[in-house]
Amino acid sequence: MHDLHNDRMSGSENRAAAGLSMVFAFRMLGMFMVLPVLATYGMDLKDSTPALIGLAIGVYGLTQAFLQIPFGMISDRIGRRPVIYVGLLIFAAGSVLAANADSIWGVIGGRVLQGAGAISAAVMALLSDLTREQHRTKAMAMIGMSIGLSFAVAMVVGPLLTRAFGLSGLFWVTAVMALVGILIIAVIVPGTPGQLQHRESGVAKQALMPTLRNGDLLRLDIGILALHSILMASFVALPLALVQEGHLAKEQHWWVYLTALLVGFFGMVPFIIYAEKKRQMKRVLVGAVSVLLACEVYFWAFGHSLQALVLGIIVFFTAFNLLEASLPSLVSKVAPAGGKGTAMGVYSTSQFLGAALGGIVGGWLYQHYSLSGVFLGCAAMALLWLVFAVNMREPPYVTGLRMPISASAVQDTGLAERLLALPGVTDAVVVAEEAAIYIKVDTQKLDRAALEALVEQA
């Protein structure tokens, strides 16, 4: 156990992390590429109204929210790969349905099916099966980065592909990407020695109610719901604002998003470093939500020229990227030992519900109250979130560990208490069915050697 930090990720672990990151990225690309183009190109479809465009933008979130935890639990029963294969096939079928649609209803049906291919939980569980304890956080971070990168790429590539091949061409590309994802799972991702019951990456039924009753976690769930509501509603309005107020042809929008995402990505880095190193995550979170609120008010009051809109979009994406990166980190800090997988399951369900809510309400607001209504609606959502964020407690600056233990240690009723007596250990729980102990530690105060010695002696 003392070489936990010394060995590198093996070849098969690297292949697993890289392959699964690519599958995630391809699927997210398919979800997000329509965001910057549906409001402008979708109006050419039969029966199209702004409210139905909003529904098409957000509706994938509904099926995704309801199915992702059940799909994860089914993957515990029948295996990860069958669930991932079926999910990717459903996603591809949704893309084909949308590609062949001549009315907005066909696109809505396609988006519903795309969301039904809810494979996030099964992919995370497969990653846990294929990586060792000490490398799991690194592998999860690779997937997190691939999601962030795919969102950025989608914002730029979506308008370029649609300009070249039209809206149906865009959906055909997403269908092909889902099928490539199946190939990656079959060819690149190594076989599994066996399934791991793992509470850091999967939903545990017994942890579900305590997670739903945890006020600090619920604040973060409300946060991600608000963030994705604001994002989806803004993307009902911003592409239209660029055309109507900025007089920028829809074929040219890609450079606005490219500029905003590049500046936004590099702009958020100092704040993330400050939040983690100086332990000021609450201050940074509250600041970023305030900036988001200010952006929506700014779009409403001043978004009447191309320069004003581009400036606002750059600041918006800096705040959005910062919040998108900070919230999962806060969830893993606040979740109790052995509860991270369940907390993340509820969190991502909230995220998808937010996407659905934002698209649907954003489209309705635009239809009835034009661009101003959408921006003021987003500002109201940001203000509501700010009230919750200001009242949150400073999170504990802790990291989760999972350590395998012997059969005798599982029976040792005093083990968790002895661990909690060590400096730097804030939470510990023995999970008998996994023969493992989950621990939350403050790495600045922890004596790692003492911790490992105590677990080994048990």
Domain CATH number, residue 381 = 1.20.1250.20
Same domain, 235 and 187: no
pLDDT of amino acid 181: 95
| pLDDT tens column, 208-242 | 888 889 999 999 999 999 999 999 999 999 999 99
49-85 pLDDT, tens digit per residue, is: 999 999 999 999 999 999 988 998 898 888 899 999 9
In this predicted structure, which of 3-12, 179-188, 345-354 has the lowest mean pLDDT?
A: 3-12
Judge if 169 and 259 occupy the same domain. no
The DSSP letter of residue 193 is: S
Per-residue pLDDT, 300: 97
Let me know if residue 201 belongs to a domain. Answer: no
Residue 203 has pLDDT above 80, yes or no: no
pLDDT in tens, 150-174: 888 999 999 999 999 999 999 999 9
Task: List the 436-441 sheet strands across, edge first.
Answer: 399-404, 436-441, 425-431
The set of residues, in sequence order, having a beta carbon less than 8 Å from that of 225 and lying 6+ positions away, is 350, 351, 353, 354, 357
Domain boundary among 396, 421, 439: 396
422 within 8 A of 430, measured Cβ to Cβ: no
Instruction: Return the residue matching tokens 């100086």.
Output: 278
In this structure, are 138 and 284 located in the same domain? Answer: no
Secondary structure class of 231 (helix, strand, coil): helix
What pLDDT, on a 0 to 100 scale, did the predictor assign at position 87?
96
Q: Count up the domains in the chain and report the number.
A: 3
Domain termination site, one of 193, 220, 243: 193
Task: Provide the phi-psi class of 405: left if phi over 0, else alpha when psi is between -120 and 50, else beta.
Answer: beta
DSSP β-ladder status, 436-441 and 399-404? antiparallel
Residue 198 lies in a domain: no
Which residue's structure tokens are 């697993």? 16
- Give the DSSP letter string of 106-157: HHHHHHHHHHH---HHHHHHHHHHHS-GGGHHHHHHHHHHHHHHHHHHHHHH
List, in sequence order, every beta strand (DSSP E) within 266-412.
399-404
Q: Are 373 and 247 in a shared domain?
A: yes
Those residues with Cβ within 8 angstroms of residue 144's Cβ, 6 or more apart along the chain or in another chain: 325, 328
Of all residues in the chain, what percent carry a pLDDT higher than 90?
Answer: 57
Task: Name, in order, each residue with C-beta under 8 angstroms of 434's C-beta and a sequence gap of 6 or more.
Answer: 197, 198, 199
Q: Does residue 33 share a domain with residue 162?
A: yes
Residue 429: C-alpha distances to residues 264, 377, 414, 439, 440 (Å): 40, 43, 11, 7, 9
134, two tokens: 């000490």
pLDDT tens track for 333-389:
898 888 888 898 899 899 999 999 999 999 999 999 999 999 999 999 999 999 999
Residue 179 belongs to what domain range? 10-193
Residues 392 and 419 in one domain: no
**Residue 5: per-residue pLDDT:** 47
pLDDT in tens, 282-337: 999 999 999 999 999 999 999 999 999 999 999 999 999 999 988 988 998 898 88
Res 7 pLDDT > 80: no
**231 and 335 fall within a common domain:** yes
Are 325 and 182 contained in the same domain?
no
Q: Give the per-residue pLDDT at 137.
A: 74
Q: Identify whether residues 300 and 311 lie together within a single domain.
A: yes
**Cβ within 8 Å of residue 414, ≥6 positions away:** none
The amino acid sitting at 202 is G
Q: Is the dihedral of CA 30, 98, 100, 252 positive or negative?
A: negative
Residue with the larger pLDDT of the pair 43 and 289: 289
pLDDT at position 198: 64
Residue 5 maps to a domain: no
Q: Is residue 369 part of a domain?
A: yes
80 domain residue, yes or no:
yes
Is 405 within 8 Å of 133 (Cβ atoms)?
no
pTM of the full structure:
0.91
CA-to-CA distance for 186 and 163, rounded, in angstroms? 33
Report the mean per-residue pLDDT for the chain. Answer: 90
Output DSSP code: residue 246. S
pLDDT at 136: 76
